[in-house]
Each structure stands twice: as C-alpha cells, then as structure tokens.
Chains A and B, each alone.
Chain A
Amino acid sequence: MFFNIFKNQLKLGFRNKSNVFWTLMFPLILGTLFKITFGNIYSEYTSDAIKTAVVFETDDEDIRNNTKAYLEGLTMNDHKMLDISYMDYESAEALLKDDEQVNGIISVKNDGRLSLDITSNGVLSTIQETITTIYNQNVGLIEKVAAEHPENLPAVLEGIQKRAEYIDTHNLAGDNKDPFVSYFYNLIAMTALFAALTSLRIGNNCQANMSSLGARTNASPLSRMTFQAAAFLAAYIVQTAIIFVGITYMLFGIKINFGGDIPLVYFTTAIASLLGTSLGFAVGNLGSFNLDKKESILVGLTLTGCALSGLMYGDMKVIITEKAPIINKINPAAVISDSYYCLNMFGVGSRYLMTLLYMLVISAVLITLGLVMGRRNHYDSI
C-alpha cells in the first residue's frame, strides 16, 4: 500500500505543472538573468588590472615612495589590481577623456593624501574610489595618532597591515570560486524553500474536512501515517530532483563556478529541500484552513523568512544577528542560506556541519508538528 501511494504521489508531483514550473523555472530564469547581469560585471572585474594614471603633485620622496609601494602592491586573485602609468596631469586627463584609455587618475597630493578623477561610474571606478578612500583614512589615522598618542603608532601601523591582509580577497575554503556565487547559493536556498509548495497538499489530501479527496482517503482502510509518510517521501524526492536540475543547469548550462564542492552543493541542497518539504508539510496540516489560506500562510512565512535572512536585503541578516540572533537559528531561510555561505566561505568545517544539523533539527520539529496537527482521523464538521 505504501509503495502504491508513493508511486502515485511521485506521478502527481512531477505532473503538477504549475508547481514544477515555478520550482524549476524560477532558478533557471533568475539564474540566467544573474549570469547575464553579473557576467558583464564579472568579466570587467576579473580581467586585466585596472588602467590607472598616477600623477605626483608632490616632490616629497617619502610620500611618493609610500604611495607607489601601496598602489603597486595591491593585488586581487593573485594578480595586480592596478595597471599604473606615471605621468603629468595633462597627459593623464587626455588619456581619461580620450576613449577612456585609463579608468581613472589618482593624484598624490602634498599632504600625502590621494584624490581620484573618473569620468563614469562602474565597478572599476568603485574599486579605485575604495582604494583612495582607504588610503586617505589610514593617512588621517596615522597623522592623528602621531600627533596625539605617538606611543601607539607601532600598534596602529600593525593594525593597518593586518587589515590590509584581511581585506585581501581570498575565500577560506581555498577554492577559486566565482565572487558572485553567493547570489546563486541564495537562489538555490529560495528554491529549496519552494519545496514547501508540493508538501503543502499532503495535509489537505488526507484531511476529510479539507477536501473530497481527503474524505475519500479517510474513508479507506489506509492509515494516516502510511499516507503521510509515502506522500512526504514522494514530495521530497520530486522537489529535490527538480532543484538538482536547476543546479545542474547552473553548473553546466550557464557554467557557474561553484568551486570544488559540487557534490557538497548537491548534498546541502538535499538537506535544504528536506527542510522546505517539512515546512510545507507542517503548514499543510495547520488547522482547518482551506488550501488557498494555507498557501498564503506559506508564502507569507517564506517571504518573511527570506527577507529576515538577507536574501532580499543584504544587511538584514547583520541586523537580525545583532538584535535577535535566535531568529537566524530558527528561520529556515536563514539556516539554508547560511549553510551555503559556510560551504562557500569556509568549506566543510564545524560551522557548516552545524548549519546542516540545524536544518535537520528544524525539519524534525516541523515534521513532528505536522504529524501532531494532522493526526485526527475524524472531525467535528466536514
């Protein structure tokens, strides 16, 4: 009996066109759009060093040497960040205006600070701006400390040095990953939560007060537990398979570089899908609301969870971490995105394994809730 229900629930899952469409097409369409958008930025970002004209407006040899060492020492992904040409300002201005042969002019002032001239906004200009801003902040900091607390100067210089090393871009997982891959991880996380849409129907299809199908199932000699177990397993497999198709498309269709952890990406997704399926199962067994209301509740929960986890607004997760960290531990969207983040940044480690454990625990809680709420076999009214 279990196998028959399971087999048919698999068919129902794969044939539910709207469900398959949204669960599959959402990552395919959005993934492609991400690729197109980020692809342009990324090619600009990861190609040759940024062509920069440097103009010295000071004769101070120390200042000239320091800035030269700083600018020439900047690296990203093991290559130089800036392709520097030294010249006077008029020549630099001509190159900047002449079809943008340089992306910006960095002028070294008498006070040791840098100024930047650019003609357009973009990622490259932003990088140049960040370089000059950080440098100027450091110069200001050193000047202030030297004037007010000269004894602290060695410590401050050491701090600046460490910060520079920290900022230097490399991920702790040690793989050459796409810097925009976290967007794709977030996309997979959202898709994994969509698994809830399939499992949402399980409750309705076995509750006599919810649907005629539920009444028919209840009137049969099939135990509630058998039905729910078979339907849950089928929903989980359907959703996981669909998300796997999405990931495979990202890997081999639009060639997103997930680094060397591809099996782990699939594995994490399988656990995330379990969490999504469990969420839908719990909401589906929630009280005597009709399917439309349950869908609204689920969509509301999912979107709220995604918003709180920073999938829509990046800084939200930081705010939640500061104000109410417990939410990040129980919010399925936050836990899923965190697991991908950990995998992306740190590889397999205690933090990553902890996020997997969180997902499994939350899944177990949601499944138990669903079973408890949907355990009734007869009703006050139908």
Chain B
Amino acid sequence: MSETVVEVKNLVKRYKELIALDNFNMKIEKGEVFGLLGPNGSGKTTTINCILSLLDFDNGEIDVFGEKMTSQRYDLKKRIGIVMQDVAVFEELSVEENIDYFCGLYINDKNKRKQYVEEAINFVGLEEFKKFKPKKLSGGLLRRLNIACGIAHKPELIILDEPTVAVDPQSRNKILEGITELNKKGATIIYTSHYMEEVEQICTHILIMDKGKNVTEGSAEELKRSIKNTENIIVYIKNLNDEHVKAINAINHVYDVTYMSGRLEIKCAGGRHNISHVIDYFASNNLDYDRIYSELPTLNDVFLEITGKNLRDKE
C-alpha cells in the first residue's frame, strides 16, 4: 500500500486581490519524483513555501508524512530538505563549511555530520573544491553546492525548486543523475523546473498547474496521450507563401501550422501517414525541401497546449 508523503487539500492563498492558489490539491506518494510544472506566476513556489510552512495561507490543509504541517513542527522539518531557486550559501564560508553549517541545522552529532558532509561533497562532485569559497565557483558548481547544502542531512523528502537554472549541460546532467540516485536511495522528490526535457527525464509523476489551480496530472506518457497533438512534422523549406501554408493547414488531421525562418512545423491530431500527405503536397506543387521528419509530441507540447502560448509575468 502506498504511503502519502505530502497532501495538499483545497489550498487557497491570496496576495491582497491576487489569488495565487485557488483550491489547489496535490498528493505525493512515497518514492515518487514529483514534477510540479506551471508557467511563471502559476503558484509553484507559493505551493512549496506553504508546504514548508514559510507562508501563511488563507484556507486548506497541508499534511506532511501524514501529519498536519505547521511552522513549529520541527520533527517534520527535520525530515525535509530544501534546495532553493536562488543559491543560498554564505560567501564567507568554504564549500565544506557551508555544507557543515546547513547540515548542522539538522544533525547535532559532530561525527555523523562530518561523515554526511563528506558524502554530500562526493555526491555532488565537489571534492576538489571543498576548501573553495563560493565566489570562486562557477555557476554550475555553485548550484551543486546549493544542492549539497539542502540534501546533506539525508532527508526523506527533498524539494528542489528549479535547481538547474543557468547551469551548463554537464552540470545539469550531473545534477539530474544525482536526483535520480537520491530517489533510488529512497527519497521522495518534489521537482519544479521550466526545462520540460528534464522533467520528462526524471519525474515519475507530473502535475501541471496554472493560475493557482491544478490543470492536469499523470505520468509523462499519460499527459502526452491526453492532448490533441499526436504528431509533429518538421520541414526545412524555403520560399513558402501564405497560400501554401493555408493549403497545408487544410490537409486532413493537420490542425496547426507555423512557418518561420525556413522552418515549417505542422501539428497533427490523429491520423496515420500524415507525413506522406505532406510530401505529396510538396511534390504536386513542385516545392523542394531540405529535410523532413516526424516526431511524437513532447512534454513541452503538452505544457504549451494546456497552459497556452501567451507570455506570463515572472513569478
């Protein structure tokens, strides 16, 4: 029988006139890597801050490890690790000292803490930099330090709020591998990110929220199956005019066409042999193309289809 680690019920949070969370619900089972997705300002960070009991909320309930979460529940807080969106370390302390400081907020035993700090340093691959001050570290290394500070005490629930912002692909890969490893060791993870491929890669369950509400949730595959888009056809072609675009849009099962800078993207809903129909159109109109291929929808397509393409204010 599954064990619920976090349960959020009908959460309402208002910032004066703005409703940041509107009867929001969320349930996270033990062992999940739970992806919490949403556009800027959708309420992800507000949800996390409410779970951590940093923010007051107007209505609703939050249970962590089956018990009501409050700011005084130090026993529950002890089992949680948090990796903030912004790097939160002390400039004056070295890598090792920073990890020791934050681990010390949870672990009293000096010997145990020493061992945990060492393990955290190895885990994020900062062995060579443990005597370095944060300002000597690159952006990627700094993010890894930020993670080490949040997970050194071996929490059962780890909340990672956009931990890979502004890091290079190598560091990002290292971080994602680490998160998967933590999960394998038994930690339940809440992960927020704007990088859909990351979420698709590591999350076992995904919840998409918008305007403070749950929009949809499920595994990546379930979400992809739930949307209209079934196939994207990409064509690199020059000299298409509006008439051609209109004609392609009229092909059976095609519901959206965008043409920009020589790249034509055709979205299809259902149907088989859609790519053949497109190739037939080019042939019958004597249009030469450089490259054509078909791909299945990604989580990014799911996200854009559900939340729309309009720009949002920064959260």
Contacts and interface: CB of A to CB of B under 8 A. Distances in A.
B52 A8 contact: no
A16 B55 contact: no
B201 to A, nearest CB: 26
Given A12-B92, A377-B71, A382-B49, A4 B104 contact: yes
Contacts of A218: 52, 54, 71
A11 interface: yes
Contact of A219 (B52, B85, B101): B52
A378 B53 contact: yes
B27 to A, nearest CB: 21
Interface string A347-382: 000000000000000000000000000000111111
Nearest to A221: B74
Contacts, number: 89
Contacts of B92: 11-12, 15-16
A219 B97 contact: no
A221 B75 contact: yes
Contacts of A217: 105
Contact of B105 (A1, A11, A15, A381): A1
* Interface-centre pick from A12, A213, A220, A382 (highest chain B CB count, 10 A): A220
Interface residues of B, number: 34
Interface string A151-178: 0000000000000000000000000000
Contacts of B85: 212
A378 B87 contact: no
B84 A216 contact: yes
A146 B150 CA distance: 90
A216 B87 contact: no
A251 B182 CA distance: 58
B84 A8 contact: no
B315 to A, nearest CB: 11
A220 B106 contact: yes
A220 B77 contact: yes
Interface in A301-349: none
B253 interface: no
A223 interface: yes
B88 A213 contact: yes
23 contacts: A1-B104, A1-B105, A4-B101, A5-B105, A8-B101, A11-B93, A11-B97, A12-B90, A12-B92, A15-B93, A212-B87, A213-B89, A215-B82, A215-B88, A216-B102, A216-B149, A216-B150, A219-B80, A221-B105, A221-B106, A378-B53, A378-B56, A379-B56
Interface of A: 1, 4-5, 8, 11-12, 15-16, 208, 211-213, 215-223, 377-382
Given A5-B105, A221-B75, 7 more contacts: A11-B93, A212-B84, A216-B150, A219-B52, A220-B77, A221-B106, A380-B15
